[in-house]
Amino acid sequence: MRLFRNFLIGLFLTIAAVGAMLFIPSKQAPAPMPWEITIMPDGKSKVFGIHLGTTTYAHTNALFHEYGNIAAFSDEGKASTVEVFFNSIHLAGITGKLVLNLDVPEQQITDMMAHAYEARLQDSGAHRYEINNKDKATVVTAPIIAITYVPSVKLSADIARYRFGEPESISQDPLEPKTTIWHYPVFGLTIRMNDDEKTILQYQ
């Protein structure tokens, strides 16, 4: 009887302790949302914990606990780029695709493309270069200068206005008549809206 009573007392204390812990506020800050944009003293935006022009790709590994795929791109008439792709990433409970543009010198990109083990032509006409691991290691400390985010949940015009406010201007994409581009220059943000496609948010 005594053993059973002690068991009940122990069980009660355990349940009480667990219940109390549920009401203790978490010390972990909630993940930043796409519309939580901070303008830093240097005039650059900070979103998803990334201070554009300052935060490095290596730092995002600690932020996201994930590693993206690094590739170089060249397109006629445009500057070559190095980009990091996250095909499926969870940010603040929202799943989406994320692309980080890294600040890498043009000559370094040219050398990386020369060492690439594969080059593929994209639908857009650009060439994608799968760079080798040695070259990938040289860009992990490169600052992030732009972010493209494609949430799995499409934003309606009403939701976009509610979350980001009224855009300074709205223009139409000359190559895609159904796509409108919402401009928020104060945030360094553009939002591409199309009823038939997913919403694209670009921060730079």
pLDDT band at 204, cuts 50/70/90? Answer: very high
Considering only 28-37, 68-77, 173-182, which range has the smallest mean pLDDT? 28-37
Q: Is 134 exposed, middle or buried (0-12, 13-18, 19+ CB in 10 A)?
A: exposed
pLDDT band at 14, cuts 50/70/90? Answer: very low
- Taking the whole predicted model, whether its pTM rises above 0.85 is answered as no
Q: Decide: 145 and 48 in contact? Cβ < 8 Å.
A: no
Report whether pLDDT(20) > 80.
no
At residue 30, the pLDDT reads 58
pLDDT digits (tens, 9 = 90+) for 138-179: 999 999 999 999 998 888 899 999 999 999 999 999 888 899
Strand, coil or helix: 65: coil
Q: Are strands 144-151 and 169-172 parallel, antiparallel or unpaired?
A: unpaired
At residue 18, the pLDDT reads 37
